[in-house]
Each structure stands twice: as C-alpha cells, then as structure tokens.
C-alpha cells in the first residue's frame, strides 16, 4: 500500500504546485516544458526504454495525439486549479474515468453490469453537486469551462493510453518514453514561439518549478505502476485506493490549507464521488 500512498501524494502535490504557481509568478508553459523533459529523463533512467524497437508500425497517430493533448490539458488543469481550486479540479480529473467506461460500452461494445450503471449514475450526480455554486456572484460562469475541459481531456487521454497498452509489439514503458519526448517537443515549440513573439521571457524560476513538477508527475506514474505490480492480483484495489485517496487528500488540502469555500451540496458531491468510485471498483470485481 506504500506505493499507492506515494502515488496519491505525488498526484496531489502536482495540483498544489499549480495552485502556488500564481503566487510565485510561474510561467506555466515553461514549467510544463521542463516538466516533460524531467519526466522523460526519469523514464529513461528508471525504465530503460529501447527506442530501437520503434518502427513505422508503432501507433504514431496515438503518440502524436497524446503529445498535443498532454501539455494542452496540463495548461487547462493549471487554469482550473487557479480559478476553481484543488478540490473541484481533482474531482473533475478523477471522475474523468467515466469517459473511458462509456467509450468501452459504446465504442468497444463491452458489457455493463448493475454496479457500473449505478456508479455512472452516482458519478454524474456527484459532478453536478460538486460544481454547483452558492450564488451567481461566487464564480464567473466562464471559469466552469476549465473543469469540464479537465474532465473530458483526461478521459480522452485515458482512452488513448489504454489503446497504447493494448499494443503488444512494444513495451508500455517505451511508448510512455516516446509520448513524453514528443510532448516535450510540442511544449518547447510553444515556448520558442512565445519567446520569439516576445510574449514571454525565459526565467530560472520556471526551470526550478518545472524540475519539481516533473519529479512529482513522474513519481505519480512510477508508484502507480509499482502498486499494480505489487498488487497484481488486486488491480481494483489499486484503482479504488488511488482515486479515492486523491479525492480525499486533495479535498483536505484545498479546504484546510488553501481555505477553499464549498457549499453543503459540494460536500455531498465529494461524498458521492467516493461512492461512485466504490461502485466502479465493485463492477470490476463482478466482471472477474
């Protein structure tokens, strides 16, 4: 369970760092670029990917789609944390698991059981209650596009990563390294364009933040994979503990440390999000 705890801590730390970015005037795109360079460097160090295995038959369209989506959604994630806080952003990210579940049913024709249907119903109710506002003056309605984009974006990313996992001709770690490398190239291209257009200046503080961000971003992936390896016979336990852990820890940090204000309905939404994860986990066990 120590790997699950470490993965949860790394995941929530990323959200906390993004929350602090405005306070220390961090340029997010620069930090994200360094983040991917750090992640691919650590991926090379820990996983020893063999890039010689890459051929034209590799799923390059998926690699490229992820390379564009990952930095883009990272920027949206940062904006969501900035505008709406850690609590609601983390829940939007974790409940995005419903998108690959729906894709499994409508696209890949996988069967649904009663647990999964109940989990989906509770999950959508949780989303509505978590994001409901106290009043019209509390938050500008245009800000709600960010958690919605986080929800949809991470759901699509999850589907694409699952497609990579199904490609058996390449080790998953080699594909992961390739995606990180391409995401770094895309992010670097954006930074170079912004510097040439004089929309931003390169600053050392962004480098430092990006290194820390990349360390925890990769740590989340590394410990999550180790947790699945250590609990190979109980993947649903890892799935449930990870998602529930992030929701609980993220909510506690957002409420206690950053004083994020939530309504009673928002708290009900958080509780229902946890219940939804439990039912989705039960549905996996039922399939087995």
Q: What is the mean pLDDT of the chain?
A: 88
The mean per-residue pLDDT over the stretch 14-22 comes to 90
Integer Cα distance of 101 and 78 in angstroms:
25
Structure tokens at 67: 């390379």
Q: What is the pLDDT of residue 136?
A: 46
Q: Cβ distance 29 to 72 under 8 Å?
A: no
Q: Examine the pLDDT at 17 and tell me if it is beyond 70.
A: yes
- The separation between CA 8 and the C-alpha centre of its own chain, rounded to angstroms, equals 11
pLDDT tens digit sequence for 150-183: 999 999 998 999 889 888 889 999 999 999 999 9
Percent pLDDT > 70 in the chain is: 94
Q: pLDDT tier at 100 (50, 70, 90 boundaries)?
A: confident
Structure tokens at 216: 């925890």
Q: What is the pLDDT of residue 178?
A: 96
Integer Cα distance of 135 and 193 in angstroms:
40
Q: What is the pLDDT of residue 211?
A: 96
């Amino acid at each position: 369970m120590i790997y699950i705890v470490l993965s949860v801590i790394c995941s929530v730390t990323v959200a906390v760092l993004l929350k602090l970015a405005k306070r220390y005037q961090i340029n997010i795109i620069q930090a994200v670029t360094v983040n991917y360079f750090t992640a691919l460097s650590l991926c090379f160090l820990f996983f020893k990917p063999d890039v010689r295995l890459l051929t034209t038959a590799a799923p390059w369209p998926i690699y490229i789609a992820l390379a564009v989506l990952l930095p883009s959604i990272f920027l949206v994630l940062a904006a969501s944390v900035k505008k709406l806080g850690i609590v609601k952003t983390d829940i939007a990210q974790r409940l995005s698991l419903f998108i690959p579940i729906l894709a499994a049913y409508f696209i890949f024709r996988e069967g649904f059981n009663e647990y999964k249907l109940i989990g989906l119903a509770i999950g959508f109710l949780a989303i509505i209650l978590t994001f409901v506002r106290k009043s019209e003056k509390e938050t500008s309605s245009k800000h709600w596009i960010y958690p919605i984009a986080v929800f949809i974006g991470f759901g699509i990313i999850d589907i694409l990563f699952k497609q990579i996992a199904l490609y058996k001709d390449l080790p998953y770690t080699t594909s992961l390294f390739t995606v990180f490398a391409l995401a770094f190239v895309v992010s670097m291209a954006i930074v170079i364009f912004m510097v040439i257009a004089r929309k931003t200046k390169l600053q050392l503080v962004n480098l430092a933040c990006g290194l820390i961000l990349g360390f925890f971003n990769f740590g989340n992936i590394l410990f999550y994979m180790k947790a699945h390896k250590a609990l190979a016979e109980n993947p649903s336990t890892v799935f449930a503990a990870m998602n529930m852990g992030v929701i609980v820890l993220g909510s506690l940090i957002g409420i206690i440390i950053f004083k994020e204000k939530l309504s009673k309905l928002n708290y009900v939404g958080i509780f229902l999000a946890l219940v939804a994860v439990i039912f989705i986990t039960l549905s996996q066990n039922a399939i087995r």
